[in-house]
């Protein structure tokens, strides 16, 4: 996979050279380039923003530096691209979107700043995406979050193909509790089923715990996920148990 980020703060992305993403780059599983679109300004002051027509507070990112930077990216890396604009008004990023992005050969992220974008920039993009209902100072941190979440679904990045599928939201539910050694720590013991060696009992326990946690903490997710007959049965059991307490 090839990822290009357009940002006026390229040094912020040095953190992507660490941990699993850094190792993925070393293995050539992903290539990440950051293009400073300030380098493409045509004014003497190297400004990438200007006041909006019609008046109003704040400054807008101008179309010209972004367009010229995108022309440069296309010259360097021809081919079909998924171009993502970080925009508070965009669709909320989630696991399904990350999985979808991971199927692409080329991703381009455009990081915004100031009050917003010249509307004409949106003609360049395929997706307008937000990471939640709050405002940050720029699009760099959301972009890094999306890159991290996306690369977890690129084969070889995690080193264990099962890992990404077992985590919260991978099947629309929150992840079940997990434990490691020792089995007894300060009197807090690991549930016996997990040390039983009975894989079917462990699977059922984990599924029930996942459903229970989702019901307690994110019941809204249960309205969007398609549950199997088994999951529906266990969920009814859990709700019945809760009603008795």
- Name the binding residues: 112, 131-136
12 neighbors 143 (Cβ within 8 angstroms) = no
DSSP state of 37: G
CA distance 218 to 216: 6
CA distance 221 to 173: 7
Buried b (16+ CB within 10 A) or exposed e, 165-200: eeebbbbbbbbbeeeeeeeeeeeeebeeebeeeeee
> For the CA atoms of the chain, what is the radius of gyration?
23
- Return phi, psi of residue 2, to 5°: -120, 130
196: part of which helix (H) or strand (E)?
Answer: none
Cβ-based neighbours of 42, under 8 Å, separated by 6 or more: 64, 68
Please enumerate, by residue number, every residue annotated as part of a binding site for S-adenosyl-L-methionine.
Answer: 112, 131-136
Residue found under tokens 């995406």: 129
The CA-atom distances, in angstroms, between 205 and each of 3, 129, 195, 216 are 39, 36, 12, 16
């Amino acid at each position: 996979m090839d990822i290009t980020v357009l940002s006026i703060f390229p040094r912020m992305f040095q953190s992507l050279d660490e941990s699993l993403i850094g190792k993925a780059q070393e293995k050539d599983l992903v290539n990440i380039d950051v293009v400073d679109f300030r380098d493409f300004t045509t004014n003497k002051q190297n400004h990438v923003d200007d006041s909006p027509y019609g008046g109003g507070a704040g400054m807008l990112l101008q179309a010209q530096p972004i367009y010229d930077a995108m022309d440069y990216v296309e010259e360097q890396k021809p081919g079909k691209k998924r171009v993502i604009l970080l925009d508070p008004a965009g669709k909320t990023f989630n696991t399904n979107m990350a999985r979808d992005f991971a199927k692409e050969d080329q991703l381009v992220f455009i990081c915004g700043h100031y009050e917003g974008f010249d509307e004409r920039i949106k003609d360049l993009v395929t997706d307008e995406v937000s990471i939640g209902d709050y405002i940050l100072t720029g699009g760099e941190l959301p972009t890094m979050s999306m890159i991290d979440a996306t690369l977890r679904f690129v084969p070889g990045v995690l080193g264990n193909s099962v890992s990404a599928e077992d985590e919260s939201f991978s099947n629309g539910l929150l992840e079940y509790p997990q434990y490691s050694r020792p089995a007894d720590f300060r009197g807090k013991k690991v549930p016996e089923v997990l040390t039983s060696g009975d894989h079917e009992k462990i699977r059922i326990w984990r599924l029930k715990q996942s459903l229970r946690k989702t019901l307690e903490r994110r019941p809204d997710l249960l309205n969007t996920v398609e549950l199997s007959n088994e999951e529906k049965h266990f969920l009814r059991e859990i709700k019945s148990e809760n009603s008795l307490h």
